[in-house]
Structure 1
């Protein structure tokens, strides 16, 4: 007979009802409703470490002290980061404006000019007005009487001198009996005369040789004189052009002098004054660009005129960054951190079939807008653009912001490229991401620890204490005001805190994931409004939770139906050898539920050890493999001290066709193996969860509430017997926040929850048989479960030992016979 476990021993391992769920008393809130509570205007709840790190990171102004804000979504990290950055930005000076202007010495390298905040736009306005004034005044002087008088004087003087030269040529021609005529090609022809009339070719041919020779010599002399005279006239024309140009430049310079005087007085910075000087000299050199349209309708002339208008673009100002409307430093949140969105771009236009650009088409990026302040970026989005990440690091290291076009670098289009002057970069970059990415970057990217020295880590839970009660109530008040929700009664606040503790998975803590809580606030307020209530009470919170579950638990109900009808085989009554109910957690979207699984074990003589069927079929993960190896270590340490473990066994999760991972079922699998080895049945009304170490100590697991509630729902559907329940690790008692329905069933004795510390305690609850202890000779008490296991293993060992001995004898006999035969002996049974 087996030694039975007393009822008292089983009872003392039950979890007390009061520890199954810790409820917050409504009296913890002094005010009746949230209307009487001071709203939470600033700060964040339960993130003291993150708050201190954030304050430090935003205040320190040294290179490399950029921030990485780590934490799961829903903890308020993004909202808090933006709020703190804006708060810090209010106390910082407003950064400068930046303008790009034409570089008159190197046109493909636009200049970057710096102005105090708000003065960049003013500079552009003044330069636009200057350009209009210049155009008006230049046209005015060129059409003025004084200018025309001076120009006429120069031209008249030229014509007079040209006429004198022409007269001298004409006089010499007459003396040599020649006449001069202009030809259509633009030259001057010398024609000999005879008797005052032009000499024809026929008449010239009939002349004597001496006369012809004389005429040729005279013609040669005259042509030389004509050439010299033409050269003198050309020189005179150049001189006139220079005189006219000098007149034009002097006239323009005189006009520009009074137009530029206000700018010289306003702008004293050397770089700006140098730009204004070059600007002025370029206008003087290119004053023809400002002349009036002659009214021609010639298409080509119109096209050339339009090209001249484009040339006036050089006198424009491109205000790249205008901080005139800011008060303090900028805070920029870039949702789509592509290369161009971060670092700016140079845009292009199509001109005569080619892509061209100029400095007015330089566009800023988020870094330009955040320069002097804060740039906030989601690291996941940034890493989706690898080039953005590498260029961001380079610019932070160089503290310089340069605009470069990727299309030029990769030669995608024919362009007229620009290389804008780099702008000094002084920005604090704040990355938002999860801790896993932080650790990856720290390990794999050598630049990351140098550039992002401040880690701001948001926790997933906070202590459940009075301070956080009040802060939570203030948060609810402020959120209700913001979203226009009904006020919450203190009973509803208590229900919210209980739900928060369940999300945290700890009776002593509250979750900091406010995404789920704000969703519950909205839905509880909705159901209160539907009822016509003026205040949200606890029942409305419970109704909202029930509705949330109903909308999401279709899969849970379908699985439970399959168990009820026997399609998925799970026994909740009776006893079976080598069969046990394990508990798993499944998740569909944002809904998590527990489901029982039948786990079976078969043991037999052999040397293969424990075969994990899931592993053999590639349906098992690494953590599950580890759990089975630990299980093997426990068995070997417990029962193989005086003999080898002659064991082959197979373990499987029945009717599971998806991947299984985690070690939370390792104790369950061990219980099934012990049952199979001992032949002692396991009560099927008890489900088990918990991992085990090599010493047989039960270790905590996750999802304990969902696992218990999943098995409870199956037992409820198939009928309570009063013997059903769940065994959990004792460390998980603090994680229990079970639904009131489960607590009521435990209190009524219909359902039970046991806590265990060791395999021995668990197997005694499952079988009702004492586990047994080992004496100094390595023997277990007869009638105990371990005694039965040890007895079975001893029989297995004896059996396999006998088989091995027979095999050795048989092998030795065969070897002897072969030796005799090799020596020429006879086959003989005697020999």
Structure 2
């Protein structure tokens, strides 16, 4: 027993030092592993340090990787580690997730300043986001799931945004202003300002140096300028593009080259000279000017694709003018359901429009209707009644709350015209009502003022107006006829009705002289005018329109302000004077009572 006790005492003394031995051994093994790992990775890191020695952030990043790799390799890749039983691909994935850099943006040095267009500028697409992965029902993330936004991609260059879309999405406009003012990009949740924090990582703030270009309509620019005090400070340069391009030799050449390039790029067949001429005419029609091309080039380019279809159906080698006209006619047919319905209602008498004979206090006005993408002209009957009294000229559309401000202004001008030309020697006393018949929608614009005045004078003088005429034009108080819009659509709208009923050479349209440069009529109208079946008259004064509509002389005032007897103006003055005297007698009788 004594020997056993001695052995136990000896072993006890020896084993007391065993934990220390184990610690010493573990430290030496770890040091050995560290030295081995350093020897293995140092050549790789040295090569990277030499390559990026001018970039301090990369050098610091490589140093941190080296220090952490020594721990990771021992813990995960050495025998006995937690990942020892897993495949090499799994081990490699762990290292990639932990150490591979997350390249948000990569710009090659020779590529120049970046120019980025963001078609969908929601907050995450603009400022970046942090993505998450589902791991056994738990959302996890890492720095590898930090995604760049358009501001990161355009940093150091230019970012192009659609202003209307930018204002549509929440938080984007305020976030963009904040980034531009602070000069940095911060990836954060847009809901953090509302107290809802959904971000588990906090990426570093990135310095921002970018030029933002907003593209949008004039309305949006003026709206931002008025409602946002910081807008002009941040966006100081305005580029206001015109809607039209002057028609000259250079612009025609560039337009033709663009059309031919579009045909080649889209796989369409070549365009002939006549086809290009047809496209130029269509562009001038869109601009409503003989001397200007429309800047809406895409509207013209789309015609080429449709014309190419008709060209292939005809098995032609080139796209000719006939194919362009087919494409335009097909487009008008697709969009023309409403205009065709209105025309049929006029032909069957549902909508009352006369194109023959004469009538007192009735005239054919011309209107333009815009419904969706369809724009077409249509005649509308204007009627006027005149009776004794001093109520003035009543605009029935305004009283019914269908007439808008500009239309009401045009009617009010009629009183000024009557007073200036007819009531210089006696007070103007008249009661009259003006209406655009069978109109059940809102009416705006003053293009009916000339027709309303001629109709009013017809009712006043009892002189009939030719119903084969239609008229459009704005006027001022001195009887000068002013330009209007949509002149081509208005003429063609009346022409369609006359053609459907049969052209007889008496049908005509009266327009302002100032609109002659806006005439870009369809070929069928031009041919009808050339054959004497249809006419287009231009006038610069009200008297010219009255003579055309009535076939009588309007008459010019002499030095004493008197008009020739039996002239239209003489009859108008006589009738107004008669009404004024009747009103004066009524006033005297009321005073006597």
SS of the residue corresponding to residue 238 of structure 2 reads: strand
Q: Give 2:384's aligned residue.
A: 601
Alignment of 1:689-708 (within 5 A): 689-708=472-491
Deviation, structure 1 residue 354: 6.2
Task: Give per-residue Cα distances to partners, 1:476-507, cap 9 Å, x unaligned.
Answer: 32122112222222222223322222222122
Cα distance in 2 for residues equivalent to 1:533 and 1:514: 26
Cα distance in 1 for residues equivalent to 2:58 and 2:126: 27
Q: Give 1:714's aligned residue.
A: 497
- Corresponding position: 1:406 with 2:190: yes
**Aligned match of 1:348 in 116, 129, 132?**
132
Task: Give per-residue Cα distances to partners, 1:277-329, cap 9 Å, x unaligned.
Answer: 444445567787436575899xxxx9xxx9xx989955442222233598334
- Corresponding position: 1:578 with 2:356: no
Alignment of 1:456-535 (within 5 A): 456-535=239-318
Query: CA RMSD of the aligned region, Å?
Result: 3.4
Deviation, structure 1 residue 596: 0.6
Q: Give 2:528's aligned residue.
A: 745
**Aligned match of 1:378 in 152, 159, 162?**
162
Q: Give 1:393's aligned residue.
A: 177
- Corresponding position: 1:361 with 2:361: no
CA contact (8 A) 1:355 1:416 kept: no
Cα distance in 2 for residues equivalent to 1:244 and 1:558: 99
CA contact (8 A) 1:356 1:416 kept: no
**Aligned match of 2:445 in 652, 662, 667?**
662
CA contact (8 A) 1:582 1:689 kept: yes
Cα distance in 1 for residues equivalent to 2:572 and 2:376: 36
Task: Give per-residue Cα distances to partners, 1:518-565, cap 9 Å, x unaligned.
Answer: 222223232232222222223332333333333332322221221122
- Corresponding position: 1:274 with 2:274: no
Cα distance in 2 for residues equivalent to 1:274 and 1:489: 66
- Corresponding position: 1:336 with 2:120: yes
SS of the residue corresponding to residue 586 of structure 1 reads: strand
Q: Give 1:133's aligned residue.
A: none
Q: Give 1:770's aligned residue.
A: 553
Cα distance in 2 for residues equivalent to 1:351 and 1:492: 63
CA contact (8 A) 2:76 2:82 kept: no
SS of the residue corresponding to residue 382 of structure 2 reads: strand
Cα distance in 1 for residues equivalent to 2:349 and 2:190: 64
Instruction: Return closer, same or farther for 1:356/1:295 CA change in 2, 3 Å cut-off.
Output: closer
**Aligned match of 1:254 in 17, 25, 35?**
35
Deviation, structure 1 residue 256: 5.2
Cα distance in 1 for residues equivalent to 2:141 and 2:194: 17
CA contact (8 A) 2:389 2:430 kept: yes
Instruction: Return closer, same or farther for 1:310/1:530 CA change in 2, 3 Å cut-off.
Output: closer
Task: Give per-residue Cα distances to partners, 1:87-137, cap 9 Å, x unaligned.
Answer: xxxxxxxxxxxxxxxxxxxxxxxxxxxxxxxxxxxxxxxxxxxxxxxxxxx
Q: What runs of 5+ residues in structure 1 fail to find an aligned partner?
A: 1-158, 168-232, 811-831
**Aligned match of 2:508 in 722, 725, 735?**
725
Alignment of 1:608-627 (within 5 A): 608-627=391-410
**TM-score (ref. length: structure 2):** 0.87
- Corresponding position: 1:756 with 2:542: no
CA contact (8 A) 2:33 2:74 kept: no
Deviation, structure 1 residue 639: 3.2
CA contact (8 A) 2:130 2:199 kept: no
Cα distance in 1 for residues equivalent to 2:314 and 2:325: 14
Q: What runs of 5+ residues in structure 2 fail to find an aligned partner?
A: 1-7
Q: Give 1:441's aligned residue.
A: 224
Cα distance in 1 for residues equivalent to 2:527 and 2:136: 84
Task: Give per-residue Cα distances to partners, 1:766-798, cap 9 Å, x unaligned.
Answer: 122222344555544432222222222222222
Instruction: Return closer, same or farther for 1:293/1:791 CA change in 2, 3 Å cut-off.
Output: farther
Cα distance in 2 for residues equivalent to 1:161 and 1:639: 141
CA contact (8 A) 1:696 1:759 kept: yes
SS of the residue corresponding to residue 584 of structure 1 reads: strand
**TM-score (ref. length: structure 1):** 0.63
Q: Give 1:431's aligned residue.
A: 214
**Aligned match of 1:551 in 334, 358, 366?**
334
Cα distance in 2 for residues equivalent to 1:654 and 1:501: 33
CA contact (8 A) 2:356 2:466 kept: yes
CA contact (8 A) 2:512 2:538 kept: yes
SS of the residue corresponding to residue 791 of structure 1 reads: helix
CA contact (8 A) 1:728 1:753 kept: yes
Q: Give 1:786's aligned residue.
A: 569
Deviation, structure 1 residue 633: 2.4
Deviation, structure 1 residue 394: 2.0
CA contact (8 A) 2:189 2:199 kept: no
Cα distance in 1 for residues equivalent to 2:379 and 2:409: 22
CA contact (8 A) 1:746 1:752 kept: yes
CA contact (8 A) 1:613 1:652 kept: yes
Instruction: Return closer, same or farther for 1:636/1:346 CA change in 2, 3 Å cut-off.
Output: same
Instruction: Return closer, same or farther for 1:635/1:280 CA change in 2, 3 Å cut-off.
Output: same
Instruction: Return closer, same or farther for 1:607/1:163 CA change in 2, 3 Å cut-off.
Output: farther
Q: Which structure has the greater CA radius of gyration? A: 1
Cα distance in 2 for residues equivalent to 1:644 and 1:241: 124
CA contact (8 A) 1:726 1:752 kept: yes
SS of the residue corresponding to residue 320 of structure 1 reads: coil
Deviation, structure 1 residue 570: 0.5
Instruction: Return closer, same or farther for 1:808/1:329 CA change in 2, 3 Å cut-off.
Output: same
Cα distance in 2 for residues equivalent to 1:767 and 1:311: 95
Structure with the larger RCO, 1 or 2 (CA within 8 Å, 6+ apart): 1
Deviation, structure 1 residue 622: 1.9
Instruction: Return closer, same or farther for 1:495/1:249 CA change in 2, 3 Å cut-off.
Output: same
Deviation, structure 1 residue 631: 2.5
Q: How many residues align?
A: 576
Instruction: Return closer, same or farther for 1:412/1:806 CA change in 2, 3 Å cut-off.
Output: same
SS of the residue corresponding to residue 520 of structure 2 reads: coil
- Corresponding position: 1:638 with 2:424: no
Q: Give 2:432's aligned residue.
A: 649
